[in-house]
A and B are shown apart, each in its own frame.
Chain A
Amino acid sequence: MLDKNDIDKEFKPVVAEVEKGRLLFFAKAIGEINPTFTDEFIAIDNGYSALPVPPTFLFCLKMDVPDPFENYRNLGVSLANMLHAKQSFTYHTPAVAGDLLTFYSHVADIYDKKGGALEFLVEKTKVVNQRDEHVADITTTLVIRN
């Protein structure tokens, strides 16, 4: 069971470097063939300083810690009962290979439906780069099937 007292709880910030090799691996995994995401020179021709971070990859970088599910377990969530319900990204500044990004996350909301059979955990994350520029805001809603 989640505890509504955990609303506003802040998680330890995650610092992640955007590695070029990881971007290329991600491109392969999602079947990306658009050369802006696979060829540094074409990315540069398109105005980037290096390979760009594609739209959903920020979610992955946030998990770049030894145990990415620890925060959820500490709130009482079991991985076996948890599914992804909603996801949003709001973009402010592009991120590229070589950037050092910091992810500041907190529990934005906890609510339930069906008399507690389904619980929802809303996590909001602010992403900033090494120049303190606001890169993006990420909102993740997880559903826990009790």
Chain B
Amino acid sequence: MVDFSNLSVGEELPALQTDKISRTTLALYAGASGDHNPLHIDPDFAASAGFDDVFAQGMLSMAYLGRLLTNWVPQSYIKNIDVRFSSITPVNIDIICTGIIKSKTESASQKTLEIEIEAKDGNTGDIKILGLALLDFNSTL
């Protein structure tokens, strides 16, 4: 269990390294998520839209960022996640998710952390998603 009192600004969360995002990953995510957008599963449609190939659902990488957070703290601590998708994620790369504590605030009722979160190409470091998560360590189920 992560102890709020021991945390400080600038500290990094344990990174999350994903497996390679294969075409199977995209098909499974399409089925499980209900997002059947053919840009992610049908190369013919992707080509007709001007893309070289299918590419990963942005929400797949955001789900990885969710895993980064819930591997570190109970989900009930997560109050807000706000991200921007920076570039598309091609098939056959892996993603590394990182987080760093940007601010720490404690009041009578709240113990909050602001975490800068990033999903990057595991090889090139290209940023795919950049955002902020707000955690409250006083929040219970």
Which residue numbers of A lie inside 8 Å of B, CB to CB? 22, 25-26, 28-32, 34, 36-37, 46-48, 52, 54-57, 59-61, 63-64, 68-69, 79-81, 83-91, 94
Q: Is B63 an interface residue (CB 8 A)?
A: yes
25 pairs across A/B with beta carbons < 8 Å?
A29-B29, A29-B31, A29-B32, A30-B29, A30-B63, A30-B66, A32-B67, A34-B67, A47-B76, A55-B63, A55-B69, A56-B66, A60-B32, A60-B59, A68-B36, A69-B37, A80-B48, A80-B49, A84-B85, A86-B83, A87-B62, A87-B83, A87-B85, A91-B79, A94-B141
Contact yes or no, B33 A63, CB < 8 A: yes
Contact yes or no, A86 B84, CB < 8 A: yes
Contact yes or no, B33 A34, CB < 8 A: no
Known: A85-B85, A86-B83, A91-B78. A28 touches B70 (CB 8 A): no
Q: How far is the CA of A80 from the CA of B76 in the complex (A)?
A: 37
Identify B59's interface contact among A52, A84, A90, A91, CB under 8 A.
A84
Q: How far is the CA of A47 from the CA of B67 in the complex (A)?
A: 19
Q: How far is the CA of A85 from the CA of B140 in the complex (A)?
A: 31
Contact yes or no, B83 A55, CB < 8 A: no
Measured between C-beta atoms, what is the minimum distance from A72 to chain B in Å?
11
Which residues of chain B have C-beta atoms less than 8 A from A88's C-beta? 80-83
Contact yes or no, A89 B81, CB < 8 A: yes
- The residue of chain A having its C-beta at the shortest distance from the C-beta of B134 within the complex is A90
Which residue numbers of B lie inside 8 Å of A, CB to CB? 18-19, 25, 28-29, 31-39, 45, 48-50, 58-60, 62-67, 69-71, 74-76, 78-85, 88, 140-141
CB-based A-B contact count at 8 angstroms: 119
17 extra interchain contacts, Cβ-Cβ under 8 A, other than A60-B32, A79-B38, A80-B49?
Answer: A30-B66, A31-B18, A32-B67, A47-B140, A54-B63, A55-B66, A55-B78, A56-B63, A56-B65, A60-B35, A60-B59, A81-B49, A85-B85, A86-B85, A87-B82, A89-B82, A90-B80
